[in-house]
Amino acid sequence: MKHVDPAKKIVSFHPPQRTLMGPGPSEINPRVLAAMSVPAIGYLDPAFVGMMEELKLLLRYAYQTENPLTFPISGPGSVGMESCFVNMVAPGDKVIVGRNGVFGGRMIENVERAGGKAVVVEDAWGEPVDPNKIEDALKKNRDARVVAFVHAETSTGCESDAKALTALAHMYDALVIVDAVTSLGGSPVKVDEWGIDAVYSASQKCISCTPGLSPVSYSERVVDFVKNRKEKVHSWFMDLNLILGYWGNTTRTYHHTAPTNGLFALHESLLLLHEEGLENAWARHQRHHIALKAGLEAMGLKFLVKPQHQLPQMNAVMVPEGVDEAAVRRTLLSEFQLEIGAGLGPLAGKIWRFGLMGYSCRADNVMLCLSALGSVLADQGYNVKVGEAEAAAHNAYAAMHAKAAEAKRKRAAA
């Protein structure tokens, strides 16, 4: 019988050009794509070591921290999460976890796999983690060593008050682990000012880098705890005692083969963020959120999250009655090359998630999204007036521009 080579017909892969407005990844700046394509060098090359130091500085800026142990873990945000829990939770430790969406649930899983006991504080999906409930749990569990919560819940587009929750944990002498996967670069994350002990994020959201890296930052309090653990960390790869030898200040001991070109890309992404300025990046995400929101609401669509808790970079919108939510997403992708996200868990089939992250957070994407969505909804029989959403977004942009111009005029006259 003649052997057939199944790989014979495989050719070079060229992905289609998409407009990415889902929960991640975001679009990538051409400068970052170019940085990925430069020649590889060794992970102990002196030039690479110099770049590592710059990366640490740029990440400290992004996180607003002076923590020496601030670096990118080789792996996605989920590895950053696991790194925090596996290093900071020993068997038998009690950890209070706020769950108000998918990713709070993953924190619970990490506590249990590390041998800890999770004390779960539940809030409705679409609501922030309630500080009063966290304090009640702390009062009832005085021996809790860690409080963990998601700052920006990707599954709902809801922001929790990281500053208040961290302050509460410290009142009861507990360490804090914060998920900033969707917030870093898009919303204020102030590690030192808020006193956060451990925080992790991901490279492919508001940082707009290639997926596969997880920026983390650990306080000296955490480093001291890990160094003085009575038993080894239950992960060789993520043991901070070993990683300190590679990402520390004085040594460069081989730990693993770093993803060199991915780190080149992250360096360029963080440099772009620094050039724009953090506050300008936060304001940009807010500006385009306001315009997108104006357009979506002009269509009669309603947001899942209350205005004061809405994330500008992750907009969860309720699917109107009688509309096939999956068909809308499929049509947007096939006819307009536009990706938006679906709901997860109990919100599956009930919401769409519109991302405005990093390089994807632009006026042209806002206007394309509104135009394409209006067209698809109209085809499904939903009552949409042509151009109304786009006009609402334009008016929102104009109002913000006028307000900024007036503020500038007043500053000049002062």
**227 in a structural domain:** yes
**2 in a structural domain:** no
Confidence of residue 414 (pLDDT cuts 50, 70, 90): confident
- Mean of the pLDDT values across residues 211-220? 97
Q: First-to-last CA distance in the chain?
A: 88
Q: What is the pTM of this model?
A: 0.96
pLDDT, residue 117, reads 98
- Same domain flag for 230 and 309: no
Is a pLDDT exceeding 70 seen at residue 129? yes
Q: Give the up-direction half-sphere exposure of residue 133: CA atoms within 13 A in the CB hemisphere.
A: 17
**374 in a structural domain:** yes
- Mean of the pLDDT values across residues 116-131? 98
Is a pLDDT exceeding 90 seen at residue 222? yes
Spatial separation of the C-alpha atoms in residues 267 and 273, rounded to whole Å:
10
- Same domain flag for 330 and 295: yes
Rg of the chain over Cα atoms, rounded to whole angstroms, equals 23
Give the number of other CB atoms < 10 A from CB of residue 387: 13
- Same domain flag for 82 and 181: yes
**376 in a structural domain:** yes
The CATH number that applies at residue 140 is 3.40.640.10
β-pairing, 341-342 vs 351-355, is: antiparallel
pLDDT, residue 253, reads 79
- Same domain flag for 200 and 234: yes
Residues 359 and 266 sit within 8 Å (Cβ to Cβ): no
- Domain closes at, from 253, 275, 297: 275
- Same domain flag for 52 and 168: yes
pLDDT, residue 250, reads 57
**327 in a structural domain:** yes
- Domain closes at, from 246, 275, 304: 275
What is the domain range of residue 205?
Answer: 30-275
Spatial separation of the C-alpha atoms in residues 310 and 320, rounded to whole Å:
19
pLDDT tens readout for residues 18-37: 999 999 999 999 999 999 99
Bridge partners (DSSP) listed for residue 99: 122
Residues 89 and 117 sit within 8 Å (Cβ to Cβ): no
- Same domain flag for 205 and 287: no
- Same domain flag for 95 and 162: yes
- Mean of the pLDDT values across residues 56-85? 97
Please tell me whether residue 321 adopts helix, strand or coil conformation: coil
**219 in a structural domain:** yes
Confidence of residue 274 (pLDDT cuts 50, 70, 90): very high
Mean confidence (pLDDT) of the chain: 96
The CATH number that applies at residue 355 is 3.90.1150.10
Confidence of residue 257 (pLDDT cuts 50, 70, 90): confident
- Same domain flag for 364 and 222: no
Spatial separation of the C-alpha atoms in residues 278 and 311, rounded to whole Å:
16
Cis amide leading into 25 (omega within 30): yes
- Same domain flag for 257 and 314: no
Residues 57 and 174 sit within 8 Å (Cβ to Cβ): no
- Same domain flag for 249 and 311: no
pLDDT, residue 247, reads 84
Task: Output the CA torsion sign for 173, 69, 189, 343.
Answer: negative
- Same domain flag for 216 and 323: no
pLDDT tens readout for residues 293-351: 999 999 999 999 999 999 999 999 999 999 999 999 999 999 999 999 999 999 999 99
Is a pLDDT exceeding 90 seen at residue 76? yes
**47 in a structural domain:** yes
Q: How many domains does the chain have?
A: 2
**Helix segments in 201-324, DSSP class H:** 220-227, 240-247, 260-276, 278-298
- Domain closes at, from 275, 301, 324: 275
- Same domain flag for 107 and 154: yes
